[in-house]
Amino acid sequence: MSRLAANSEEVKSTVLNTPTGKVMDALGKTSDGRRFAESVGAYLRKWGNRSDTVIEIGDPSWLEDPAIVINNLKAYLGGSAHDPRAQWLELVADRERLVNETQTLIAGYPEPVRQQFNGMLAAGQNGQRIQEDHNWWIDQQGNYQVRQVYLEFGDRLAAAGAISHRDDVFMLTGDEIADSARSGFGGDFKSAVSERRAEMERWQKVPAAPAVGTDYGPPPDNPVTRALGRFFGTPPAPASPDHPELISGAPGSPGKVTGTARVIIKLSDASRLKQGDILVTATTSPPWTPIFATAGGIVTDTGGALSHCAIVAREYGIPATVGTLRATAVIKDGQRVEVDGDAGTVRILKS
């Protein structure tokens, strides 16, 4: 989409210089803009059935609010992001080179060893594809469809005066919605909605406890727990009182980079990420993938070497440290940091 926009200076200028929420209206004022707006609409119809967090039906989909898409376009057009197709082709060529080199190295090994390598290679390649497809078709598409059902209830409750706005339906329980529907969408939930929304806003400001319940110590060392650790991460090295500026995690993607930290918890806030900035976040999921082309490096609170963040960072060739548990709490937005993806550390630099 960004390559298409870049073909027209008029469209490029409109996207870059118009506030995000007004871009689509501004595009409709010129013939080039209208053609590009139609392309944006086609993109959203194909890929817009997703939201910010993937698992929260209360979040609007990209189809309802294309702000995330527009902000991604702004980032691609305003920076020096590589052509994703060209970058993908480079990665494919590099992959084939490495596979061929390895096949040559093991050519003299016994046949069962070569078969095991080829089997594990295919499992790794197909497994990642299955994981991404599962997330797209089940997690994202499923939540989108469920959200539409709730919004239909929300429209009817709002029309009957039971709530003020249709999105208020997400502040109600399933039983409250069902009971109201059975009685012709009667009732008055305005006070309950207001109280619950205020409660959610209050608790959003309270840091979550690192653990709840009894600590039984580390899990047993076996293949299952080791595999889970690669996906979800394992406890990092404890903070050193002699080096408070150093945050330990797990190596996610190799390389070392220095940049300005942008602590971003919700994807809708990702417009603050500029070319080369270090994305510091709790975790990432497939809807976050487009902003990897803007980030110079990535740091997460959760995840291991096989987490979404680590895999995609390696695909984009940018350093990443994952599973720090505390990066978003310790790193301040705007600080200069050094990400060492080989060592799995982050260093907060002095101003």
Region 136-156: mean pLDDT is 92
Reported as a single tens digit per residue, the pLDDT across 238-265 is 888 888 999 999 999 999 999 999 999 9
Q: Please name the residues in contact with 209: beta carbons below 8 A apart, sequence gap of 6 or more.
A: none
The residue type found at 114 is R
DSSP conformation letters of 72-131: HHHHHHHS-PPPHHHHHHHHHHHHHHHHHHHHHHTTTS-HHHHHHHHHHHHHHHHHHHHH
The residue type found at 302 is T
Region 36-46: mean pLDDT is 95
69 and 138: one domain? no
DSSP state for residue 138 in the 8-state scheme: I
Which pLDDT belongs to residue 82?
64
Q: Residue 206 domain-assigned?
A: no
Picking from 22, 48, 78, the residue at the C-terminal end of a domain is 78
CA neighbor of 74 nearest in space, from 19, 7, 9: 19
Average pLDDT, the chain: 91
Q: Residue 122 domain-assigned?
A: yes
Asked if pLDDT for residue 81 goes beyond 60, the answer is no
Asked if pLDDT for residue 275 goes beyond 90, the answer is no
67 and 120: one domain? no
Q: Which domain holds residue 34?
A: 2-78
Task: Report the side by side order of strands in the sheet with 246-248.
Answer: 246-248, 345-348, 336-340, 256-263, 278-281, 297-300, 320-322, 250-253
Lowest mean pLDDT among 121-130, 142-151, 259-268: 121-130
237 and 343: one domain? yes
158 and 92: one domain? yes
Contact between 62 and 48 under an 8 Å Cβ cutoff? The reply is yes
Length of the chain as a residue count: 351
Q: Residue 56 domain-assigned?
A: yes
User: Rounded to an integer, what distance in angstroms lies between the CA atom of residue 182 and that of residue 313?
Assistant: 50
Reported as a single tens digit per residue, the pLDDT across 57-78 is 898 899 999 998 998 888 888 7
User: Rounded to an integer, what distance in angstroms lies between the CA atom of residue 263 and that of residue 329?
Assistant: 9
Picking from 50, 78, 106, the residue at the C-terminal end of a domain is 78
Region 47-64: mean pLDDT is 85
Reported as a single tens digit per residue, the pLDDT across 147-194 is 999 999 999 999 999 999 999 999 999 999 999 999 999 999 999 999
Higher-pLDDT residue of 104 and 75 is 104
Picking from 78, 96, 113, the residue at the C-terminal end of a domain is 78
67 and 118: one domain? no
Which pLDDT belongs to residue 129?
79
271 and 324: one domain? yes
Q: Which two tokens stand for residue 156?
A: 């009817």
Asked if pLDDT for residue 95 goes beyond 60, the answer is yes
241 and 344: one domain? yes
pLDDT band at 80 (very low <50, low <70, confident <90, very high): low
Q: Residue 213 domain-assigned?
A: no
Looking up residue 341, the CATH number of its domain turns out to be: 3.50.30.10
User: Rounded to an integer, what distance in angstroms lies between the CA atom of residue 137 and that of residue 143?
Assistant: 10
Which pLDDT belongs to residue 304?
94
Reported as a single tens digit per residue, the pLDDT across 294-313 is 899 999 999 999 898 999 99
Total domains in the chain come to 3
The percent of residues above 90 in pLDDT, for the chain, comes to 63
Region 308-333: mean pLDDT is 93
pLDDT band at 32 (very low <50, low <70, confident <90, very high): very high
Region 27-53: mean pLDDT is 92
Cα-Cα end-to-end distance for the chain? 37
278 and 292: one domain? yes
Locate all alpha helices (DSSP H) within the chain, ordered by sequence. 2-6, 9-17, 23-27, 31-47, 67-78, 84-105, 111-134, 141-159, 174-182, 190-204, 223-232, 308-316, 327-330
Contact between 328 and 301 under an 8 Å Cβ cutoff? The reply is yes
271 and 341: one domain? yes
Q: Residue 109 domain-assigned?
A: yes
- Cβ atoms within 10 Å of 181's Cβ, excluding its own: 14
87 and 139: one domain? yes
Q: Residue 58 domain-assigned?
A: yes
Higher-pLDDT residue of 103 and 126 is 103
101 and 131: one domain? yes
User: Rounded to an integer, what distance in angstroms lies between the CA atom of residue 4 and that of residue 280?
Assistant: 30
Region 196-207: mean pLDDT is 92
Q: Residue 222 domain-assigned?
A: no
109 and 183: one domain? yes
Which pLDDT belongs to residue 322?
97
Q: Residue 341 domain-assigned?
A: yes
